[in-house]
Amino acid sequence: MKRPGILPALTYRSATLIFLLVAFAAIPFADLGVSALHPGAEFGRLVGGILSPAFAAIEVRSVIWTVAFAVLGVALGGTAGLVLALVFDRFRTVRLVAASLRSVHELFWALFLMQITGLSATTGILAIALPYTGIFAKVFAEFFEEADRSAENVLPRDTSALSRFAFARLPVVGQQIKTYSLYRLECGMRSTLVLGFVGLPTIGFHLESYFKEGHYAEAAALLLCFYVLIGTRRLWARAATVPFLVIGSLLVLPETTGNSSTWRNLARFFGHDIIPAPLRNSSLRDGHTWSNFGEWAWRITAHQIGPGTVQTLILAQIALVAAGVLALLLYPMVARRFLGRFGHYLGRATLVITRSTPEYMLAYLLLQLMGPSMLPAIIALSLHNGAIIGYLLGRQADQLPLRADAPTGANLYFYGTTPVLYGQFLAYLLYRWELILRESAIFGILGLKTLGYYVDAAISELRIDTAALLLIGVALLSMCVDALSRNLRRRLRIETLPVRLSAEHRSNAARAAPYAGAPQAQQPVV
Amino acid sequence: MTAAITLDHVSAGYNGALVLHDIILSIEPGECVAIMGRSGAGKSTLLNTIYRRYTDSAALIPQASALVGNLSVFHNVFMGCLDRHSTLYNLRTLVWPPAAEIAAVTQVLEAVGLEEKLFARAGELSGGQQQRTSVARAILNGRPVLVGDEPVSALDRVQAGEVLRILSARHETKIFALHDIRLALEHSDRIVLIEGGRIVLDEPCGQLSYQRLLPYFEGELQ
């Protein structure tokens, strides 16, 4: 039975058109100018620097701390996420806590935590661990939900919950949990690098000053070091090395300065700073207090959350479409069917390096080169996300069964692979939507007028209460986009398509070890 | 009268569709009953209904072997008696199996001829070996009523007969779904035939013959 409705049925075509229209409508409102005086000359110096990396300048400690913060942050987040995942479908509160934790970006967490724990290792580790707890909880809960329950159903009835879990649940999803956690370490390292841009002693801290001063050769050496670490992740981050990584990371952490004031800061933070200004030191029974509070909240909503949201959405929608276009253009680069054996290896390397480049860092660099406008942010977001989606699509294009007399080249692209992969493409893009939005908000710290701009300003003026209200706005916005994305995926009937980046790693693992147990269903999400 | 299993006008189904209609069935302690019928007749639903109602006294051999592929045969079999030990002991056994448990599991595995696979990963076994692991788990479980859904479908007739004999010796009351008429006649006391979710025949094996049962399986390979 056809459901009558006011809206026309959503198809791949209409969904694509809607997103294109929104993005084009947003362009006139976006500042896309290049204001730097000699962007070409500066770009030439950048290329020169990349071609002659100054390895002697590498700050080894910052590299070690980047790895250590990431290892401990991901380990802590993974452990907490696993615990939450066990009760995820039982308690609404747990789901809500997880959703709130992951809807706030690592950088925002870091800016907040600094108020309590200062520029310390604790800040760096918790800034990763908190949002990752939310992500891990959701993903692990999905693993458990989709897991084969048949062995569990046969267990004697009075088996304790813990025995049940240890014997019939954990071993079933253990492999998935392991692969996903190790993959997350890669994301964690990108995140810790970026934390350096707000002052923590990771690679990003030095990159920021190198970029600012135009020391591209030094920056290139440091970045190269980072790429090598990411590229060799599967060699040094394995199940067997995890205990050593964790203990080693604990041993090399930088000494905390001014740790003694943490408790005092904590008391001040929760007892004063985060309480909305109109409510401080005033009677909560007084109607006047509440009208002041209403006025305060309205002022922030109207003058900061409102315009910040509009700018965030403008950036996110343009970047989303640009990333999609780029992904469709790039995917043949990693497909053997299009570029052949050597070509596709080269393409893969290019896209892996592009996607390993933290988009925040890229935006920072491009802003230095091109001058302040939305253009650098759009380029950074679309390159990073376009590379991620393009890579996944290209790998899938190679796995498509094609008839023996299938066309080649452009004909294969337009009549074969692209139409077949289009649903998958939309699934990836809709999934990245929320991430692009979160990142768009964050780019405000770089000076764009998105939500992060107001958060950063409020924190630097020590108006923590304002920053907290703004963050609630950011969280609500990203939850709305997440819900809308899920709704669209359902209506397009693409909600079961895999969009988890680690799914690809898993299939690699399965190929290397064909005995790896039960056939693994492709997992949706992340 | 204390029957081991009593179903009194039971109907059951899933997803809103009724699969079993008004089943009346009583099984005495010590009986060995074969449930037969074409595929889709409702055998599995009947066995699952029985198991759910008698979880406290029954051990189950499910149709798919239902093993944890990443764990060893030892651990999969040991799962049959998780309720008999403390959680701490179970966790210890997961990491470092005590000699007593190894001996107990080995003994059960010897009965089904799988002792040399004690510490092999269950996921690496062949279908027949997995089924025998599932049988061993039910034996170690040791509850008096055994509910087996095609417990020997992946074994040849000689092995199948052997496994059914062992199961008969270890459990008091047995209810098997079987599709092989000769095997059922040879190894059970009573045959219950289901068609379209209803019992159409319920007689002791002594009064039945291969020829009489065959028409019920017309079109299916015997």
Hey, where are the domains in chain B? 1-57+145-157+168-222, 65-142
Burial A241-254 (b: 16+ CB within 10 A, else e): ebeebbeebeeebb
In terms of domains, do A242 and A369 share one? no
**Cα A442 to Cα A4: distance, rounded to the nearest angstrom:** 41
- Say yes or no: A120 and A40 in one domain: no
Q: How far is A516 from chain B (nearest CA, A)?
A: 8
Q: Quick check: is A279 in a domain?
A: no
Q: Chain A partners of B67 at a C-beta cutoff of 8 Å? A: 151
Whether residue A360 is found in the same domain as residue A392 = yes
Closest chain A residue to B71 measured between Cα atoms?
A171
Amino acid letter at A76? L
Question: CA-to-CA distance for A358 and A361, rounded, in angstroms?
Answer: 5
* Statement to judge: residues A515 and A482 lie in one domain: no
User: Is residue A278 in a domain?
Assistant: no
Count how many domains chain A has: 2
The answer to whether position A157 is within a domain reads yes
Position A294 pLDDT exceeds 60: yes
User: Among partner residues B56, B68, B94, which is closest to A151 by beta-carbon distance?
Assistant: B68
Residue A149 included in any domain? yes
Cβ contacts (< 8 Å) between A518 and chain B: which residues? 69, 123
Short-list A431, A430, A423, A444, CA closest to A309: A444
The DSSP code sequence of A54-71 is -GGG--HHHHHHHHHHHH
CB pairs under 8 A between A and B: 76
Query: A118: left (phi > 0), else alpha (psi -120 to 50), else beta?
Result: left
Give the C-alpha distances (Å, rounded to integers) separating B121 from A155, A516, B3, B63, B89: 19, 10, 40, 20, 21
Q: What is the mean pLDDT of residues A84-94?
A: 90
What is the distance between the alpha carbons of residues A45 and A218, in angstroms, rounded to a whole number?
Answer: 12
Largest interatomic CA distance in chain B:
55
Query: Residue B91 and residue A160: Cβ atoms within 8 Å?
Result: no
Which pLDDT score, from 0 to 100, does residue A257 have?
58
pTM metric for this prediction: 0.81
A-chain residue closest to B55, CA distance: A157
Checking if the pLDDT of A133 tops 90, the result is yes
CATH number of B1-57+145-157+168-222: 3.40.50.300
Q: Same structural domain for residues A193 and A231?
A: yes
Residue A274 domain-assigned (yes or no): no
DSSP class of B153? T
**B216 neighbors B193 (Cβ within 8 angstroms):** yes
User: How far is it, in rounded angstroms, from Cα A464 to Cα A409?
Assistant: 56
Q: Residue A167: its pLDDT value, please? A: 92
Residue A292 lies in a domain: no
Q: pLDDT digit string (tens) for A266-291?
A: 888 888 888 888 888 777 788 888 88
Rounded CA-CA distance B214/B204 in Å is 16
* Chain B residue at shortest CA distance from A513: B124
Is the pLDDT assigned to residue A521 strictly greater than 50? no
In this prediction, the answer to ipTM > 0.90 reads: no
DSSP A322-344: HHHHHHHHHGGGG-HHHHHHHHH
Do residues B123 and B69 lie in contact, with contact meaning Cβ atoms separated by under 8 Å?
yes
State the best of A157, A160, A163 to mutate against chain B, taking most chain B CBs within 10 Å: A163
- Residue A232 has phi, psi (to 5 degrees) of -100, 15
User: pLDDT by residue for chain B (222 residues), tens digit each?
Assistant: 577 888 888 888 777 778 888 888 999 999 999 999 888 888 888 998 899 888 888 999 988 888 988 899 999 999 999 989 999 999 999 999 999 999 999 999 998 989 898 999 998 999 899 999 999 999 999 899 999 999 988 888 888 999 999 988 889 999 999 988 888 998 899 999 998 888 888 989 888 888 888 888 876 766
Q: What residue has token string 């780019």? A: A443
Q: Tens digit of pLDDT for each residue in A465-514?
A: 999 999 999 999 999 999 999 899 888 888 777 666 554 434 433 333 32
Considering the domain architecture, whether residues A374 and A252 belong to the same structural domain is answered as: no
Residue A414 has what DSSP assignment? I
Residue-number span of the structural domain to which A66 is assigned: 55-269+499-526
CB atoms within 10 A of CB A20: 14
CATH number at residue A126: 1.10.3720.10
Q: What angle do CA A310, A98, A271 make, to 5 degrees?
A: 80
Per-residue DSSP letter, B121: B
Residues A177 and A318 in one domain: no
